[in-house]
Amino acid sequence: MADDEKFAEQVIYDIIGQILLEEKENDLVKPILEAARMGRFDRVFDSIGSFENVFKYQDSHGMTLLHYSVVYGNISAAKMFIQKGSPLNLKNREAGATPLHLAVKDGFLDIVQILVENGADVVVGDHVGHSSIHYAAIYDYAYILNYLIMTSHVHPDIPDLHGRTPLMWALFKNSSLLTVKSLVRLGADLNYKTTFNECPLNSALLSNSATLIDFVLCHLSKIELNKEDIELIGAIYFSRIHKISKKISFLAGKILSSVRHNQSFWVC
């Protein structure tokens, strides 16, 4: 109970206070609220079961007790709320984030594991369709990516609402090469195309990262370019994008030359 007693007081106040105000369950909620105000979290957690809806209740931000336990990194509280039936896949109102999204965002692998082991949905998206795998790619947690994909057996090319994959976001957000390599090793397709003809190469070029551009160029089986790609590669070749390696500049020149001659271009 010691860890649970450290659980942030404002969490208890916010959730239970909202219930008290909105649901008018005075007789059931008042003892819990009074215990929280006195800092007697042992009483809070012992008596909170008398009002079962508290575990499913969403406050004005759409956050449940499980959401908050994740935000504060409190694995003991998270375990208890899960055992008490707190929904695993409820989305908050601001971003449409589930507890798993929040755990991944903050890099809490131990809480991620608890959530997944108890049935949290790895694929469910937030308001823009980002799955927990997208979150791991965007926030650069290769170890969480590996766990989520290998445990759930989900293909890493999960599209968001715009068709963009975790690999595309990892490249665009200039995540580490380790994260990008992990996605490719787990099956992410460097030749993937969205319905808008976007691909990982677009994302790498927009990152301005010589390391990531180099990796993508050297691991593509074949480059298919649209007008925007050619413009970006031209910018690289003519040194308008800084800190690009000589190797990439050389490859960019070859690509531009092949485009001018309508040749298909194979890299590395």
pLDDT digits (tens, 9 = 90+) for 17-75: 555 555 554 565 566 656 645 655 566 566 665 566 777 777 778 888 788 888 888 88
How much is the mean pLDDT over the chain?
78
Q: Is the pLDDT of residue 262 over 60?
A: no
The pLDDT score that the predictor gives to residue 156 is 96
- Domain ranges in the chain are 1-93, 159-268
23 within 8 A of 54, measured Cβ to Cβ:
no
The pLDDT score that the predictor gives to residue 198 is 86
Mean pLDDT throughout 166-170?
97
5 within 8 A of 76, measured Cβ to Cβ:
no
φ and ψ at residue 96, rounded to 5 degrees: 75, 30
The pLDDT score that the predictor gives to residue 229 is 60
CA distance 153 to 30: 46
Question: What confidence category does residue 116 fall into, taking pLDDT thresholds of 50, 70 and 90?
Answer: very high
CA distance 169 to 101: 15
- Cα distances (angstroms) measured from residue 228 to each of 136, 161, 235, 252: 28, 22, 11, 14
- Cα distances (angstroms) measured from residue 177 to each of 60, 68, 105, 243: 39, 32, 18, 16
Question: What confidence category does residue 112 fall into, taking pLDDT thresholds of 50, 70 and 90?
Answer: very high
Q: Which residue has the higher pLDDT, 49 or 99?
A: 99
- Cα distances (angstroms) measured from residue 132 to each of 102, 153, 168: 9, 14, 15
Q: What is the CATH number of domain 159-268?
A: 1.25.40.20
State the pTM of this model: 0.76
Residues in a beta bridge with 265: 223
DSSP three-state, residue 229: helix
CA distance 69 to 67: 6
CA distance 133 to 156: 7
The pLDDT score that the predictor gives to residue 268 is 35
The pLDDT score that the predictor gives to residue 265 is 39
Mean pLDDT throughout 240-264?
54
Residue of 184, 139, 178, 135 whose CA lies nearest to 157? 184
Q: Which residue has the higher pLDDT, 135 or 50?
A: 135
Contact residues for 100 (Cβ-Cβ < 8 A; gap 6+) = 88, 89, 112, 115, 116, 120, 121, 122, 132
253 within 8 A of 237, measured Cβ to Cβ:
yes
Question: What confidence category does residue 189 fall into, taking pLDDT thresholds of 50, 70 and 90?
Answer: very high
Question: What confidence category does residue 226 fall into, taking pLDDT thresholds of 50, 70 and 90?
Answer: low
